[in-house]
Structure 1
Amino acid sequence: MDWVHDIFRNIHVVGGFIGLALFWIPLLSKKGSPLHKKTGKIWVWLARVVLFTAFAGVLMYIPQLQAKGHGLVSHPNSYAFILFLGYLSVITFIITIYAVDVLQHKKDISGLATPYMKLMAWLSILLSGLIVAYALILRPEMMPVLLALSPVGFTTGMGMLSYMGGKESSPRGWLYEHLGSMIGAGIAFHTAFAVFGMTRMFDIGLTGWVAVIPWILPAAIGIPASIIWRRHYQRKFKEIPA
């Protein structure tokens, strides 16, 4: 099965690098333009391939740990990293499909609130809770990272339920949901690159508290950027004072 794992890993790496560059085209291009729509659709499909191969890689690696006698509870350090990758893959997939469905149902939110999409929202919240519990109970070395990034699943799920419940008062709520979700997916892509790609490409060996920086830097930049972007459009549409 090693050759299958290698194929998935190569697809994941190539797709991830392409997606990293492609992400910025729909983000910076004029919203609603042909360029924005076309590159956005390509990125979404590419993201699905990258996320699928990442999650598949996680599933293939777990039996290898078990074969070494590393149990989920007895060796938390062996599992923390791989479990977080699986968590990040699932949450990013949920964010991506939600961002697309928001556009498809921007005129009627009720069409978005399907049992499947609600299940995805609750799954996001559940996974966030499980990661927090794993970090606090078993206390792996990665505990600060797990606790710092695990709320992403909670906030994603709660935001989805709130919007689907009709709690967004702005008529352009679909735009804010779409932009926020896509930026969230982009944060995940850049986090993966910062943690795996950049450190290996440039042979950067970070130790101590500095090693946490690649994990949290994309979120530290992306989340404020998302807030600023939303306020920009709110001012543009005169929903808040300029």
Structure 2
Amino acid sequence: MYLLFKSLIAVHILFGAVGLISFWIPVFSRKGSPAHRLWGRIFARCILVAGGIAILLSLCTLYAPMETHPHLEDPVFVRGIFGVLMFHLGVLTVNLAWYGREVLKNKANPAANRRGVTLYLQVLLGLTSVGCVIEGLAIGQPLIVGASVIGFATVATNLMHMLNPAPPPKAWLREHVKGIVGAGISVYTAFFAFGAVRIMPEIALHPGLWAIPLTVGLGLILYHYWKISQSGSQLGKLAAGE
């Protein structure tokens, strides 16, 4: 188990590192440019792999918490943080990256988002969010409970768009931004949190550490929402002959 766990970590770090670096190119490059499209695909694919492996790592931890984490002493802490919370963050990351990619692909046919993997991922994320509430309360870790709020909010906003029979023209673009940047927030949060557990465990669960990627990511989402609304206003003025 330990050898399998270490091998998965190596692959997870490889794809996660590429995802962490490539995230910034589509964020700041001109939207629709070759660089934006290329690095956006690279980011999404790397994050889907890294998130999927994070789920496998969490399952290994839930099966054998102390065998996979012999350097830590508390099996309850290991199970809660590296098991339940990591499983939740892995599902959240996969959900957001997949969703961000699918709303772009299905922009001309939004009904296609209401079936298959995209829909099942909302159900799974809802269940992991409930699991975080139960586990966090059981072991007295409010941060695990707090992570569930992001999951619930993601499922709610995703379903609002997916189930809308007539979404506004630019809605897919806002959802694409939310999904991809949200996946970046999730990955950087996991990087800060689980990296800090190994290096500086005393600050790993400090809310301030978790707030850094969330604050930066929400700022990026709001900025791009503003840019989208500005472009819509300019198009409206041109159509009106102003």
Give the distance between the partners of 2:166 and 2:126, measured in 1 at CA.
20
Could you say which residue in structure 1 is the equivalent of 2:88?
A: 87
Could you say which residue in structure 2 is the equivalent of 1:186?
A: 184
The runs of 5 or more residues in structure 1 that have no matched partner are 69-74
Matched, 1:229 2:230: no
Displacement after TM superposition at 1:220 (Å): 2.5
Give the distance between the partners of 2:163 and 2:201, measured in 1 at CA.
46
For the residue of structure 2 that corresponds to 1:48, the secondary structure is helix
For the residue of structure 2 that corresponds to 1:170, the secondary structure is coil
For the residue of structure 2 that corresponds to 1:131, the secondary structure is helix
Displacement after TM superposition at 1:110 (Å): 1.0
Asked if the contact 1:55–1:89 (Cα under 8 Å) also holds between the matched residues in 2, the reply is yes
Displacement after TM superposition at 1:167 (Å): 6.4
Could you say which residue in structure 1 is the equivalent of 2:174?
A: 176
Could you say which residue in structure 2 is the equivalent of 1:124?
A: 125
Displacement after TM superposition at 1:123 (Å): 2.1
Give the distance between the partners of 1:128 and 1:148, measured in 2 at CA.
9
Q: What number of residue pairs does the alignment pair up? A: 229
Asked if the contact 1:96–1:182 (Cα under 8 Å) also holds between the matched residues in 2, the reply is yes
Asked if the contact 2:132–2:147 (Cα under 8 Å) also holds between the matched residues in 1, the reply is no
Q: 1:34 to 1:177 in 2, by over 3 A?
A: same
1:217 to 212, 215, 221: 212
The runs of 5 or more residues in structure 2 that have no matched partner are 69-74, 237-242
The superposition leaves residues 46-93 of structure 1 with CA deviations (integer Å, 9 ceiling, x where unpaired) of: 11221122111112222223889xxxxxx6433210210111001110
Q: TM-score, normalised by structure 1?
A: 0.84
Could you say which residue in structure 2 is the equivalent of 1:56?
A: 56
The superposition leaves residues 93-133 of structure 1 with CA deviations (integer Å, 9 ceiling, x where unpaired) of: 01111111101110111122114422221222222122112
AA in 1 matched with 2:133: V
CA RMSD of aligned residues (A): 2.6
Q: TM-score, normalised by structure 2?
A: 0.84
Q: Is 189-198 or 50-59 further displaced after alignment?
A: 189-198
Displacement after TM superposition at 1:18 (Å): 1.9
Identity %: 25
For the residue of structure 1 that corresponds to 2:233, the secondary structure is coil
AA in 1 matched with 2:107: K
Could you say which residue in structure 2 is the equivalent of 1:160?
A: 158
Give the distance between the partners of 1:85 and 1:208, measured in 2 at CA.
13
Give the distance between the partners of 2:183 and 2:192, measured in 1 at CA.
14
